[in-house]
Amino acid sequence: MKKKFLGLSFLTILSLSYATTVLAEESQGSLEQTVTTAVTSEETVDSSAAEQITAETTEQTESAEEAIPQTQMETADGTMSLPSGRSDLYPTLQLYSALPAVSVTNTNTPSKNFIDISSHNGTISVANFQKMKSYGITGVVVKLTEATSYTNPNAQEQINNAKAAGMKVSAYHYSWFTSDAQAIAEANYFAAAAKRFGLSNSTVLVNDIEEPQILGKGNHTNNSKAFENRLKALGYGNVRHYIGLSRLTSGRINAGTIGNKNIWVAAYPYNLSTTNLYTQYGSWQWSSRLSFPGINGTFDINADYTGIFSNPVTTPTTSVQMHRLYNPNSGEHFYTQNVAEKNNLVKHGWKYEGIGWNGPTSGNPVYRLYNPNAGDHHYTLNSYEKDNLVKKGWRYEEISWYSGGSNKLHRLYNPNAKAGAHHYTLNTNEKNNLVKHGWRYEGLAWYAK
């Protein structure tokens, strides 16, 4: 989330942090009293308080009626727990962050393995993801959903572009559940979105349990396990939990029950160093203000201790030619990298139309299916679409080629055709001409080199 600075003095911030620390956890007073107490406490801060609290992050919603401030407290090792409360249903303003902005080129930092993004990061192009990858960032965790009513409008584009750049893609859900029943409902909502966006069952799915308004309500440990178990029952076996350090150290969430290596802990160091902390957990979010040269905005950055979020993906160094053929009898276009298959079809009357595009030798798989009733082939990057067609009687013919690169292939559909109903092309003029003749443009097919 983008931070907004309001020009408060350092002592003012310390004062705000101290007041809200107490009130957020213990006060039963009104929200208006919470905010008023925080503001009027500025003059009461003395030097001992400043020494005890290095820096904290406090968030305030645009409506005081929705605000339950959360804070950071310095720990013995000089780190702080995360700034919580980054809901898209109840947008907040960041009052202050003691964290300095850090460039990806800075070598005096913990490990920089993967980022996490949401709609606040907007559109990130394939080229920008590739630039991030050039700095060693090999994974991205995309926010998909929140509660049971919000879906990230940028999610599909962010997923597609990250995959095209060769990044490992995971996904997270911003949780609001305070009971097992709610947890199951949110897991259902999350998994359904993951399938719609073409994320396979091997994708890492994350429970982001940071919302301050649910703090202390329900059993966070048991509810999180119910969420995890439901995702596993739906076929998603790689489940992790994003948790602020303070919720672990306070005992609000039992790390032993969740499993240390299943935890993605958030704790922001005030002073950067090359030391990786909290290695007992699976991964560590250590800043929300990483910047990249030539890329707008800042990003959450994380160290990955198990490789679950950021296993390096080999960047294709070679490409293969994808042959395009046309059947004048059925009207179907066919695409293959197999020269023998191409030559055999030519012998059977298909017209060879040359190289359709150049594809990478590895990357994200494009699936090939065949309809035995219509005699038609279909190709898709979306595993959910592939599985749905198989249920309807299509034959799965394995991975046909891979997606990767910066060139977008267009996908079109002919509502009047039985065979050859879909067409795929790099050529924008061809795409526009087909649209003029009644074809429906369906957007991205996959990427080519």
User: Contacts from 2-10 at CB under 8 Å and sequence distance 24+?
Assistant: 2/94, 2/120, 2/297, 2/298, 3/94, 3/97, 3/288, 3/289, 3/298, 4/93, 4/94, 4/95, 5/94, 5/96, 5/97, 6/95, 6/96, 8/95, 8/96, 10/50
pLDDT at 237: 94
CA distance 57 to 83: 6
Contacts of 372 by beta carbon, 8 Å cutoff, 6+ apart: 393, 395
Whether residues 294 and 327 fall in one domain: no
Residue of 23, 54, 314, 282 whose CA lies nearest to 167: 314
Query: Of 42, 63, 94, which closes a domain?
Result: 94
Burial pattern 321-354, b for ≥16 Cβ within 10 A else e, equals ebbbbebeebebbbbbbeeeebeebeeeebeeee
Whether residues 120 and 252 fall in one domain: yes
Residue 313 lies in a domain: no
Torsional class of 277: left (φ above 0), alpha (ψ -120 to 50), beta (otherwise): beta
pLDDT at 166: 87
| Sign, Cα dihedral of 41, 62, 118, 264 | positive
pLDDT at 98: 52
Burial pattern 267-296, b for ≥16 Cβ within 10 A else e, equals bbbeeeeeeebbeebbbbbbbbbbbbeebe
CA distance 410 to 418: 20
Residue 311 lies in a domain: no
pLDDT at 359: 87
Query: Of 304, 336, 366, which closes a domain?
Result: 304
CA distance 336 to 184: 43
Query: Of 280, 304, 328, which closes a domain?
Result: 304
Strand (E) or helix (H) holding 347: helix 339-347
Residue 3 lies in a domain: no
Total number of domains in the chain:
3
The per-residue pLDDT for range 83-92, each reduced to its tens digit, is 556 778 876 5
CA distance 76 to 107: 24
**Per DSSP, which regions of 219-294 are E strands?**
239-244, 263-269, 283-292
Residue 360 lies in a domain: yes
Q: Along the 449 residues of the chain, how does pLDDT read in single tens digits?
A: 333 223 332 222 323 333 333 223 333 322 232 222 222 332 222 322 222 322 233 232 222 222 223 333 334 344 444 455 677 887 654 433 456 789 999 999 999 999 999 999 999 999 999 999 989 999 999 999 999 999 999 999 999 999 988 899 999 999 999 999 999 999 999 999 999 999 999 999 999 999 999 999 999 999 999 999 999 999 999 999 999 999 999 999 999 999 999 999 999 887 889 999 999 999 999 999 999 999 999 999 999 999 999 976 444 446 788 999 999 988 899 999 888 899 999 999 999 988 888 888 888 899 999 999 888 899 999 999 999 999 999 999 989 889 988 889 999 999 988 777 899 999 888 999 999 999 999 999 999 98
Residue 314 lies in a domain: no
CA distance 305 to 308: 8
Radius of gyration of the chain (CA): 25
Whether residues 78 and 214 fall in one domain: no
CA distance 191 to 355: 38
CA distance 135 to 139: 12
> Is there a contact between 414 and 421 (Cβ–Cβ < 8 Å)?
yes
pLDDT at 89: 81
Whether residues 25 and 69 fall in one domain: yes
Residue 164 lies in a domain: yes
DSSP single-letter state for residue 74: B
Contacts of 177 by beta carbon, 8 Å cutoff, 6+ apart: 183, 185, 186, 214, 218, 223, 227
Contacts of 317 by beta carbon, 8 Å cutoff, 6+ apart: none
Domain interval for residue 24: 10-94
